[in-house]
């Protein structure tokens, strides 16, 4: 467990490093948010942002997406990992939103989780992005960086979520989630963490920096 002083120092440094912690996905409404988040599973935000402009031109809302021809949709999202499964999930998700939620994206964890292609992490991202409730979604970067920093020790994603959440107040979860992602993408990379350049190296038990 981190001491209170060390945790506050971590938050202070993250705030300095990444002053604008927010999603790097491009979206402007609930429809675009849910579609982008579903596409972003096991795929970079950059790739998703390259595909969504043409996707949203062809299918601008739940109604149009629910009526999409799967082959046409697959053609547009082909550069995205697992595009076939995601195309199927997107159409089914849009159909459920129309049939069960009168065409509006549900605003509860239960409602979101009932939709195709939406698991715990995806629901958490949406709840957090929309400020509906505090959530701490654990993606591959959050998982890796939390464990390297020893904010969590479990090898199970849900446990990592639990262990990190326990140590911080709910209003800090959203920014901490984004900070861990930013840090994982830029510095604490999967294959070769850049510990020598890392501003957290003196706080990190996994640091290989000679200065830490």
Min CB(203)–ligand SF4 separation in Å: 8
Q: Shortest Cβ distance from residue 17 to ligand SF4 (Å)?
A: 11
The nearest distance, CB 3 to ligand SF4, in angstroms, is: 17
Q: How far is the CB of 48 from ligand SF4 (least distance, A)?
A: 25
Query: CA–CA separation, 80 vs 42, rounded Å?
Result: 9
Report CA-CA distances (Å) from 156 to 26, 42, 139, 140, 147. 30, 17, 12, 11, 11
Q: Which is nearer to ligand SF4, 135 or 204 (CB)?
A: 204
Give the whole-angstrom CA distance, residue 104 versus residue 121. 20
Catalytic residue among 7, 30, 86, 139: 139
Between 105 and 204, CB nearer to ligand SF4: 204
Residue 68: alpha-carbon gap to chain centroid: 26
Q: Which residues bind ligand SF4 (CB under 6 A)?
A: 148-149, 187-188, 193-195, 198, 200-201, 204, 206-207
Q: Which is nearer to ligand SF4, 138 or 198 (CB)?
A: 198
Is 104 designated active site?
no
Task: Go through 102-134 and write b for each residue having 16 or more CB atoms within 10 A of its CB, e for each that does not.
Answer: eeebbeebebbeebbbbebbbbbbbbbbeeeeb
Closer CB to ligand SF4, residue 148 or residue 177?
148
Distance CA 61, CA 147 (A): 39
The answer to whether 121 is a known catalytic residue is yes
Residues classed as catalytic:
121, 139
């Amino acid at each position: 467990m981190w001491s209170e002083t060390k945790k506050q120092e971590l938050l202070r440094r993250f705030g300095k490093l990444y002053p604008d912690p927010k999603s790097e996905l491009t979206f402007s409404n609930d429809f675009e948010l849910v579609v982008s988040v579903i596409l972003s599973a096991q795929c970079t935000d950059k790739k998703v942002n390259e595909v969504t402009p043409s996707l949203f031109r062809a299918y601008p809302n739940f109604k149009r997406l629910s009526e999409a021809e799967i082959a046409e949709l697959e053609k547009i999202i082909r550069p995205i990992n697992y595009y076939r499964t995601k195309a199927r999930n997107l159409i089914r998700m849009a159909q459920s939103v129309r049939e069960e939620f009168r065409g509006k994206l549900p605003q509860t964890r239960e409602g979101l989780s009932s939709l195709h292609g939406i698991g715990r992490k995806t629901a958490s991202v949406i709840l957090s992005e929309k400020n509906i409730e505090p959530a701490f979604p654990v993606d591959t970067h959050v998982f890796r960086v939390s464990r390297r920093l020893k904010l969590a020790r479990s090898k199970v994603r849900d446990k990592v979520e639990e262990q990190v959440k326990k140590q911080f107040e709910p209003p800090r979860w959203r920014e901490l989630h984004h900070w861990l992602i930013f840090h994982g993408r830029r510095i604490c990379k999967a294959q070769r963490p850049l510990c020598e350049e890392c501003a957290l190296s003196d706080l990190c038990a996994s640091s290989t920096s000679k200065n830490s």
